[in-house]
């Protein structure tokens, strides 16, 4: 299965929406007068923190897993993400009744090991040597014939991620801007395709951590310039764009705003305090972008994608 | 205005629902498979943490404030709650355009002073001497003619609080149990009247902190036995039943379960982690009761009222 260079269309996203409907939540869209007052904009929050496994990642993983032929499916799926994508692949595989292999570094936090194991995946630990996880993945693929599912630079994953914005645009009309966060670009590229097709007057923007600003720099340079091991608190956004996500973003995304670590933490805290919902640092980046660049959003109807809510409650960034 | 000894009926609660409709949120009812699996019950969470001012208290305060005659209203309203009821009275008064006076102890936490002041109330500080706050209230009432709004033992407040359960029973049919927390009993007595009228086969129960178990003991004894300055972490539930709430609870409430401090904190954390919503310790008490007494709830359809979400995020009980 090689979809590289073949770009998803709105029809692919609509098919993904049908495919995942029995398994994924149609998440609610929340509003908050306090945050509207604070930003001067009218904000509509698409709450993917309420999605299965606590993140939008379930949409893409679910679409990919349920697209496999029965023959491929029985061999299982594999990924090397220890974060939300790993949990999402594990749950999607369990729902289809097939094996999931997740490769993670020995030193991954216990909370992540527990989450992925809790969804029934088989974990294989890799050393911290360069390319160790790729080598380990390669070995397991050779042994099992499992299908590798990249967290972002993958046709079916992008289509799945685009279903969140599709739902948002169906529910809230006349949005002037839709803004997700950007890491590897799976959510942003899926959002861009969905929004530009179903709501062509809506601009797609993105929020990105200053400390992992490869998408911002790549758009400026007109070519992919990856970040080198960035340590932003927004741990879901440390990966860089890929050769599938970058051209989609180049074509459809109007502007990327970088956000300081301090502003990410402040935005996250405000959402917890005023909206009474738990979001992870990555999910706070778009609202951080809005607070950092109020003149770009003031007076506008803005759809904000809250990407996830998986946080270690014993280690909150403001404590 | 003296409604003492006159008990609210379902018609009073329906009138309250009409009265507060333009101002209060109709809060969502959320479900969570993980919490169902953990408890063995089918749980429906009425999310009053998403209510205005972050707590159900807005319903009662709003009903009371908008029931005042124009002549009484112009003189303002007064209370001595420094918690959610104080904020609720302040906001309701602002919405009606009348003065709100809130008496609080000098040593109240800054976060509470800021919240109440932020809603536009005039704060008067009282000393920590016994009866100081009552004396201060009395003085202000004499000077201004403001109407005192008790946080729980007040006809119109009870009617307002009952609207949450009314909405819950309208939205989710065939609940076998509805369980709010109990402190002063305003929420519990309003819930009891609403549920017994619109869904007579549904049992009303309550969760109460072990450390502030006056409602449990009062029901056993057949008379009000107040708690003496209890220090439970569930700060919204430290007050005791009153002469209006007690007989309603006696008549309609099937059972009260006491919950340990440890279980309150555990239940609170599970809700944050799995439901991705912020609730305060008081709001976790009913779910703590369910986890403590699984045989009472297992296999049943249970409506759980999450009473509020106001927490100091710098002081979480598990840190």
pLDDT digits (tens, 9 = 90+) for B273-287: 999 999 999 999 999
Q: Are residues A160 and A34 in the same domain?
A: yes
Q: Does residue B1 belong to any structural domain of this protein? A: no
Query: For position A107, what pLDDT does the model report?
Result: 81
- Is residue B14 assigned to a domain? yes
CATH code of B87's domain:
3.40.50.1100
ipTM for the predicted complex: 0.94
Query: Do the domain assignments include residue B3?
Result: no
Q: Give the pLDDT confidence of B55-88 residue by residue, as tens digits.
A: 999 999 999 999 999 999 999 999 998 789 999 9
Cβ <8 Å between A278 and B277: yes
Same domain, A159 and A63: no
- Pair A104, A116: CB distance under 8 Å: yes
Q: Is residue A139 part of a domain?
A: yes
Nearest CA in chain A to B306: A276
Strands A29-30, A42-47: pairing kind: antiparallel
Q: Which residues contact B28 (CB under 8 A, 6 or more apart)?
A: A28, B47, B50
Reference A60, options A12, A98, A117, A112; nearest CA is A12
Is B237's pLDDT higher than 70?
A: yes
Residues A166 and A243 in one domain: yes
Asked if residue B230 and residue B136 are part of one domain, the reply reads: no
Residue of A nearest to B312 (CA): A273
Q: Which two tokens stand for residue B249?
A: 């609870």
The model's pLDDT over B89-112, given as tens digits with 9 standing for 90+, comes to 999 999 999 999 999 988 888 888
A271 part of a folded domain: yes
- Which residues of A are less than 8 Å from B30 in CB distance? 50
- B198, pLDDT greater than 80: yes
CB contact set of B235 (below 8 Å; sequence gap of 6+):
B83, B280, B281, B282
- Dist. CA B245–CA B163, nearest whole Å: 16
Average pLDDT over all residues of chain B: 95
Report DSSP state, residue B314. T
Set of chain B residues whose Cβ sits within 8 Å of the Cβ of A314: 318-319
Q: Quick one: A215 and A99 in the same domain? A: no
pLDDT of residue B122 exceeding 90: yes
Domain final residue, candidates A148, A173, A207 = A148
In a domain, B138, yes or no: yes
Is B319 in contact with A314 (Cβ distance < 8 A)? yes
Q: Which of A273, A314, A318 sits opposite B318 (nearest CB)?
A: A314
Percent with pLDDT over 70 in chain B? 98
Residue A302 lies in a domain: yes
Q: CB under 8 Å, gap of 24 or more: what pairs does A130-133 form? A: A132/A105, A133/A80, A133/A103, A133/A104, A133/A105
Q: Are residues B188 and B266 in the same domain?
A: yes
| Confidence check: pLDDT of B1 > 70 | no
Concatenating the DSSP letter of every residue in A49-66 gives: GGSGGGBTHHHHHHHHHT
Per the model's pLDDT, the better-predicted residue between B203 and A126 turns out to be B203
One domain, residues A209 and A135? no
Whether residues B163 and B251 fall in one domain = yes
A87, A121, A148 — which closes off a domain? Answer: A148
**pLDDT given at position A5:** 58
- What per-residue confidence (pLDDT) applies to B3? 47
Q: Note whether A291 and A184 are same-domain residues.
A: yes
* Count of structural domains within chain B: 2
pLDDT in tens, B3-30: 445 899 999 999 999 999 999 999 999 9
Are residues B72 and B49 part of one domain?
Answer: no
Interface residue ranges in chain A relative to chain B, Cβ cutoff 8 Å: 28, 30, 49-50, 54, 269, 272-273, 275-279, 309, 313-314, 316, 318-319
Among A148, A169, A192, the domain boundary falls at A148
Residues A259 and A160 in one domain: yes
Give me the pLDDT at residue A206, please. 98
Within-domain flag for A317: no
Domain membership of residue A127 as a residue range: 58-148
Report whether pLDDT(B294) > 90: yes
- Nearest 5°: CA angle at A142, between A147 and A111? 60
Residue B78 pairs in a beta bridge with B101, B148
User: Which residues in chain B are contacts of A316 at CB distance < 8 A?
Assistant: 313, 316, 319
Q: Are residues B238 and B162 in the same domain?
A: yes
Query: Residues in chain A with pLDDT < 50?
Result: 1-4
Structure tokens at B41: 């019950």
Q: Which band of pLDDT confidence, cut at 50, 70 and 90, is reported for residue B245?
A: very high
């Amino acid at each position: 299965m090689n979809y590289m260079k073949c770009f998803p269309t709105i029809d692919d996203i609509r098919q993904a929406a049908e495919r995942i409907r029995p398994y994924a939540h149609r998440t609610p869209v929340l509003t908050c007068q306090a945050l509207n007052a604070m930003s001067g904009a009218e904000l509509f929050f698409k709450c993917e923190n309420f999605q299965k496994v606590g993140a939008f990642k379930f949409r893409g993983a679910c679409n990919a897993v349920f697209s496999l032929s029965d023959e491929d499916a029985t061999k299982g799926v594999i990924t090397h993400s220890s974060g939300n994508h790993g949990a999402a692949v594990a749950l999607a595989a369990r729902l289809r009744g097939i094996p999931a292999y997740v490769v993670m570094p020995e030193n991954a936090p216990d909370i992540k090991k527990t989450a992925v194991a809790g969804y029934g995946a088989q974990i294989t630990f890799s050393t911290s040597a360069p390319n160790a996880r790729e080598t380990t993945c390669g070995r397991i693929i050779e042994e099992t014939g499992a299908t590798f599912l990249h967290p972002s630079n993958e046709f079916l994953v992008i289509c799945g991620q685009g279903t969140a914005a599709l739902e948002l645009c169906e529910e809230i009309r006349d949005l002037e801007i839709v803004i997700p966060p950007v890491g590897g670009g799976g959510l942003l590229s899926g959002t861009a395709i969905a929004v530009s097709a179903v709501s062509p007057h809506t601009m797609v923007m993105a929020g990105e951590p200053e400390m992992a600003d490869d998408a911002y720099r790549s758009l400026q340079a007109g070519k992919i310039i990856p970040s080198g091991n960035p340590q932003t608190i927004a741990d879901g956004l440390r990966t860089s764009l890929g050769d599938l996500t970058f051209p989609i973003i180049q074509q459809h995304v109007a502007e990327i705003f970088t956000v300081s670590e301090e502003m990410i933490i402040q935005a996250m805290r405000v959402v917890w305090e005023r909206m009474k919902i738990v979001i992870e640092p990555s999910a706070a980046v778009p609202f951080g972008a809005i607070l950092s660049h109020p003149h770009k959003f003031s007076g506008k109807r803005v759809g904000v994608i809250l990407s996830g809510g998986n946080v270690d409650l014993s280690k909150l960034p403001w404590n």
